[in-house]
Each structure stands twice: as C-alpha cells, then as structure tokens.
Amino acid sequence: MATQNKIFVQIDNEKIELTGAELDNFLADRQALQNQRAESEAAFEARASAKAALLERLGITAEEAQLLLS
C-alpha cells in the first residue's frame, strides 16, 4: 500500500490541508519555483564560465580586471 503525503499550510495560526484545486495550484507553483531556481543557477554558472573564459583569453586575473575597472 502506497502512503500518500498530505500538504498543510498555516494561515492566521490555522492549519489547513490542501486538497483538490488548491493542492494542484500549490504543486504547480512549487514546481515553477524549482524550475526558476534551476534556471537562475544555470544562468549564474553560464555567466561565471563566460567571465572565466574572458579572463583567460585576456590573460589576466580577476584581481587585475578589478584594478582596471577601478
């Protein structure tokens, strides 16, 4: 027998179980947030890689680049 998890939210100190459309909306929102977090992390990694590649191509360190910008 599979165990089904229940999801509760607390509103004004009242614990409410999500069911039906509320549960579907909550799960969809949670998935959207997880997707957004994954996209943000991927974008951050892409920027870091591009920055490292540029520094490598220029033959300078991050500290030297910072000095050039100051």
Residues 5-22 have a mean pLDDT of 89
For residue range 15-68, what is the model confidence (pLDDT) as tens digits? 999 988 999 999 999 999 999 999 999 999 999 999 999 999 999 999 999 999
pLDDT at position 3: 58
The conformation of residue 16, written as its DSSP 8-state character, comes to E
In the numeric block, the tokens 């998890």 are attached to 5
Q: Using the predicted structure, report yes or no on whether residue 5 has a pLDDT greater than 80.
A: no
What is the amino acid identity at position 65? A
pTM of the complete model: 0.65
The pLDDT of residue 28: 94
Residues 6+ apart with CB under 8 A from 9: 15, 16, 18, 26
pLDDT of 2 reads 57
Domain residue limits, the chain: 8-69
Residue 67 structure tokens: 């000095």
